[in-house]
Amino acid sequence: MARIGVFTCWCGENVARHVDIEKVTETVAQMPGVRCSINYKYMCSDPGQAQIRDKIQSERLTGLVVASCSPHMHLKTFRKAAQTAGLNPYLVEMANIREHCSWVHHNREEATAKALDLIRMSVEKVKRDHELVPIRVPLTRRALVIGGGVAGIQAALDIADAGHEVALVEREPSIGGKMAGLSETFPTLDCSQCILTPRMVEVGQHPNIKLYTYSEVESVEGYVGNFKITIRQKARYVDMVKCTGCGDCWNSCPIKKNLSEFDCGMGFRKAIYIPFPQAVPARPVIDRLACTRLKRGTGCGLCEKKCQAKAINFADEDKLVVEQAGAVIVATGYKLYNIAKEQDNAQLSGYGEYGYGKYKDVIDALQFERLVSASGPTGGEIKRPSDGKIPQSVVFIKCVGSRDNAKGLAYCSKICCMYTAKHTMLYKHKTPGGEAHVFYMDIRAGGKAYDEFVRRAIEQDGAKYYRGRVSKITEENGKLIVRGADTLAGAPVTIEADMVVLAVAMRPADGVHALAQKLNVGYDEFGFLSESHPKLRPVETNAAGVFICGACHAPKDIPEAVAQASAAAGKTLVMFGREELTREPEIARINEQTCAACYTCVRGCPYTAIERAETLTPKGVHVKYTARVNEGLCMGCGTCVALCPSKSAELEGFTEQQIYSMVESLMT
């Protein structure tokens, strides 16, 4: 006979405001199988949990229903409480009378009735729960970090310093990411490369870090603790071992006019090149689309002739390498919103009126970073792209693509307010007498020493801020005519500028969706990867063992990306600190006696968790073919349960009998 305890929570006023808790408690006490029914203001608090523990023991409860918030929020809490009191944690059910009831129904009588229905269903469900034991899986204590920007570097170093091996995969020829190209960083104005490049060197030399540059993740198999990742090492045409990085090859290369990706198209590089002098690894790569030898198959070969180490290999091919890892950290970063050219998304329409791509002196923020950087194409002198003159008046436009539901993206890109203030400062410091004009929507400068920084730009360095948008930019007699509004003054503003810098929205990097699909990680409507819980699990994802950090998750600045990277590394280390992993046992099971071995479930499983198997007698004689669930891979999604025509697939904790009983309880 079932002895169910029902614990109804007020959730402060969250539930109690619209649900008659007393009535619920009394009515529930009369339900068949319910041994005790009590309520408390905060069931999740220590005194609340203590009551649960006491009742489990004093009433010898066989099942528990907590009527409160969502299982997502507190199922673990209550399972732990049950376990402490000696009850199998999988005999705990939650009736969500907050999100599913009091938050959405404000008629007290109806909300109370619905709360009762929800509890009634849970009581019926818990009666048919049975004890489950977590599944144990072995663990590989190696991590894979995808993306070698500042976030990926931080995460890799943290894990490697803790004594575990890390494979770091970077798509570009060098690690460093976007930060390597920045000039100086807010709010302290320390030089970006001065703080990043030593970290890059550390990665390159760390005995625990295996670096895969110019490589991409090809496929991911396996599951938490036991991932098997195939990495595609793109043909570099340079032998990484033989090469000494002396530079004879790129100094001799005659193909000079290739736009430099690292300089955001503001400078040029050779066909064989290292992206920037401080690159890690300091080994060049041949751009196969630019190199005449690779294009034609014969000719040139100057680099090969000059190379004394015999490191050039024109016959190089992509290689596939397999890495084992227990955890994966995604740190793939961001790209900029495409301002004027073709959009990859039908909802975006670009900002053709700003003339980006048409007027040479309208540039984006990352291009400006290269212009002010000491390692940039102008050596840090701010010269405008069209004629190399020093601009005497620069207009900075914020929120280009951000916070624009009509043409761009709904979200705030978060860092533009700060770097625009920084840009005005750097410009003013380098150009005495120059004018910096900023068009903004709001100034968002939350953060340590951030608002002070913006005030400094305005008050000490004299940047002129206009609250308003720019409607159009035209070019007249070598000047850019910027027409905008100053909404605080209530007047239109026209500025004759020499250069315009657009603070363009941040978007997730290209290819992240394909990667997310390989890893079974969710992403939002803008393509940013989804965390498991916005507050309590900010670096975890819903794919166990996969963590995220940096701008692939949302727009963020360097300190935040680094903090998150260390958090992801920390979570990985927590995992690596365990003897073995346990997985929730609420997975699918196949009834091998009734399985007809049609293998529809095998083909339909999104996690490739079901295998073709054979039922054998204890002596090993074939009885029949059957489908079988791999406990390590099954995520408990229930696709097989829905697909199986003979209902031979069941989900533990959500059996068909349980669902039927729940539905039936509503009919009576």
Partner 1 sequence: MIVDQLRELCARLLSEGTAQVVIGYGQAAPGKPAYPVFIRRAEDADQLVWNDQCMTNLAATLKRREVKALGKPAVIVKGCDERALIMLAKESQIVRANIYVIGVECNGAGRPAMAKCASCDVHVPRWTDTVIRETESQAAAVRTTPSSARYADLEAFMRKTPEARLAFWRAEFGRCVKCYACRQVCPLCYCERCIADKNRPCVIDTSATPKGNFAWHITRAFHLAARCAGCDECARACPAHIDLRLLNLALAAAAEDHFGWRAGMDPEAEPPAGAYSLKDKEDFIG
Q: Which residues bind partner 1 (CB under 8 A)?
A: 517, 593-600, 603-606, 612, 625, 639, 643, 645-648, 656-657, 660-661
- Which residue number, 19 or 640, has a Cβ lying nearer to partner 1? 640
Q: How far is the CB of 599 from partner 1 (least distance, A)?
A: 5
Q: How far is the CB of 664 from partner 1 (least distance, A)?
A: 9
**Both tokens of residue 7?**
């614990």
Q: How far is the CB of 666 from partner 1 (least distance, A)?
A: 15
- Which residue number, 341 or 647, has a Cβ lying nearer to partner 1? 647
Q: Contact, 257 vs 268, CB < 8 A?
A: yes
Question: d(Cα 485, Cα 479) in Å, to the nearest integer?
Answer: 19
Q: Contact, 58 vs 87, CB < 8 A?
A: no
Nearest to residue 283, comparing CAs of 204, 177, 174, 181? 174
Q: How far is the CB of 528 from partner 1 (least distance, A)?
A: 19
Q: How far is the CB of 660 from partner 1 (least distance, A)?
A: 4
SS3 call for 639? helix
The three-point CA angle 247-249-250 to 5° equals: 70
SS3 for 180-244, per residue?
A: HHCCEECCCCEEHHHHHHHHHHHHHHCCCEEEECCEEEEEEEEECCEEEEEEEECCCCECCCCCC
3-state helix, strand, coil in the chain (%, to 5): 30, 25, 45
- Which residue number, 300 or 609, has a Cβ lying nearer to partner 1? 609
- Which residue number, 487 or 593, has a Cβ lying nearer to partner 1? 593
Question: d(Cα 36, Cα 28) in Å, to the nearest integer?
Answer: 9
Cα torsion 97, 103, 108, 109: sign: negative
Nearest to residue 331, comparing CAs of 566, 567, 551? 551
- What number of other Cβ atoms are within 10 A of residue 527's Cβ? 17
Q: How far is the CB of 334 from partner 1 (least distance, A)?
A: 24
Nearest to residue 436, comparing CAs of 423, 455, 418, 419? 423
Q: How far is the CB of 24 from partner 1 (least distance, A)?
A: 28
Question: d(Cα 441, Cα 363) in Å, to the nearest integer?
Answer: 20
Q: How far is the CB of 605 from partner 1 (least distance, A)?
A: 7
- Which residue number, 135 or 643, has a Cβ lying nearer to partner 1? 643
- Which residue number, 246 or 643, has a Cβ lying nearer to partner 1? 643
Q: How far is the CB of 629 from partner 1 (least distance, A)?
A: 15
- Which residue number, 45 or 593, has a Cβ lying nearer to partner 1? 593
> Between the CA atoms of 163, 169, 174 and 177, what dihedral angle is there, to the nearest 10 degrees?
-90
- Which residue number, 16 or 598, has a Cβ lying nearer to partner 1? 598
Q: Contact, 455 vs 465, CB < 8 A?
A: no
Question: d(Cα 606, Cα 475) in Å, to the nearest integer?
Answer: 55
Q: How far is the CB of 600 from partner 1 (least distance, A)?
A: 4
- Which residue number, 139 or 641, has a Cβ lying nearer to partner 1? 641
In this structure, what DSSP letter does residue 214 have?
A: S
- Which residue number, 103 or 599, has a Cβ lying nearer to partner 1? 599
Q: Contact, 140 vs 226, CB < 8 A?
A: yes
Chain centroid, CA 602 distance in Å: 30
Q: How far is the CB of 523 from partner 1 (least distance, A)?
A: 13
- Which residue number, 201 or 514, has a Cβ lying nearer to partner 1? 514
Kind and range of the H or E run holding 400:
strand 393-400
Q: How far is the CB of 147 from partner 1 (least distance, A)?
A: 22
**Both tokens of residue 195?**
């703080």
Listed in sequence order, the residues at least 6 apart from 342 whose beta carbon sits closer than 8 Å to its beta carbon are none
Give the residue carrying structure tokens 């034991």. 133
Question: d(Cα 98, Cα 114) in Å, to the nearest integer?
Answer: 11
In this structure, what DSSP letter does residue 354 have?
A: G
DSSP letter for each residue of 494-511:
EEEESEEEEEEPEEEPTT
- Which residue number, 618 or 645, has a Cβ lying nearer to partner 1? 645
State the amino acid at position 569 in one-letter form.
A
Q: How far is the CB of 602 from partner 1 (least distance, A)?
A: 8
Q: Contact, 376 vs 269, CB < 8 A?
A: no
- Which residue number, 458 or 643, has a Cβ lying nearer to partner 1? 643
